[in-house]
């Protein structure tokens, strides 16, 4: 009886070792599995056609900033204008729909506006453009991202301070 139990234990151990060896890629002595041999179809198929978005240009960043803070001699945020005129994402549009959240973070517009595309580009090809208003006393960074509808502003924060995102902190800069 003792030798029969020992044989079953040994047979189980051998089977377990064999299963573990096969699971870890051990050779079971049989023909190679179909998944280990590359198929002719995969070797001759075309490479995937991943869609790449070109990086935004400085001219595009400037045009977007001019649309967000429009004006000739007086500059305010486009959120004060007619709906649909602001080149912003749906996320930012929902945020500035609150009457207490303004892109200019102000009561009155500015008599000055300077626009400077920053040299940084985002992983998605977008960029950041700095808008300085009120004779240089306040600056905003607009985060521009690619969308199906083109380049749109998705966030605004006080210059160089992403922690002041308009989605979190709509106060003065």
Over residues 68-88, the pLDDT tens digits come to 999 999 999 998 665 668 999
Structural domain of 27: 2-44
Asked if residue 140 lies in contact with residue 169, where contact means CB atoms within 8 angstroms, the answer is no
Query: Given pLDDT bands bounded at 50, 70 and 90, which one contains residue 107?
Result: confident
pLDDT band at 54 (very low <50, low <70, confident <90, very high): confident
* Rounded Cα distance, 19 and 148, in Å: 51
Q: What's the total number of domains in the chain?
A: 2
Instruction: Tell me: do 15 and 98 sit in the same domain.
Output: no
Tell the burial category of 132 from Cβ atoms under 10 Å away from its Cβ (0-12, 13-18, 19+).
middle
Q: Is residue 137 part of a domain?
A: yes
16 and 68 assigned to the same domain: no
The band of 37, judged by pLDDT with boundaries at 50, 70 and 90, is: very low
Does residue 138 sit in the same domain as residue 69? yes
Buried b / exposed e across 48-79, counting CB within 10 Å, b at 16+? eeeeeeeebeeebbeebbbebbbeeeebbbbb
Look over the chain and give the mean of its residue pLDDT values, rounded to a whole number.
Answer: 77
Q: Are residues 33 and 68 in the same domain?
A: no
Decide if 78 is inside a domain: yes
Answer yes or no: do 65 and 33 share one domain: no
Same domain, 147 and 121: yes
pLDDT band at 127 (very low <50, low <70, confident <90, very high): very high
Distance CA 103, CA 77 (A): 5
* 91 vs 82, higher pLDDT: 91
83 and 143 share a domain?
yes
> Does the residue 79 lie in any domain?
yes
DSSP3 helix / strand / coil % (the chain, rounded to 5): 30, 20, 45
Query: Quick check: is 113 in a domain?
Result: yes
**Least confident span in 13-22, 132-141, 157-166:** 13-22
Residue 94 lies in a domain: yes
């Amino acid at each position: 009886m003792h030798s029969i139990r020992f044989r079953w234990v040994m047979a189980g151990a051998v089977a377990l070792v064999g299963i573990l060896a096969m699971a870890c890629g051990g050779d079971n002595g049989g023909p190679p599995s179909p998944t280990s041999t590359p198929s002719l179809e995969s070797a001759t198929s075309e490479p995937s056609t991943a869609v790449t978005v070109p990086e935004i240009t400085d001219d595009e960043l400037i045009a977007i900033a001019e649309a967000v803070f429009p004006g000739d001699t007086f500059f305010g945020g486009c959120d004060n204008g007619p709906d649909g005129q602001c080149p912003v994402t749906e996320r930012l549009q929902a945020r500035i729909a609150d009457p207490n959240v303004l892109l200019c973070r102000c009561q009155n517009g500015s008599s000055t506006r300077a626009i400077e595309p920053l040299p940084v580009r985002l992983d998605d090809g977008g960029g950041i453009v700095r808008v300085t208003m009120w004779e240089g006393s306040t600056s905003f960074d607009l985060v521009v991202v690619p969308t199906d509808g083109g380049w749109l502003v998705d966030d605004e924060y006080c210059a160089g301070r992403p922690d002041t995102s308009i989605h979190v902190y709509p106060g003065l800069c």
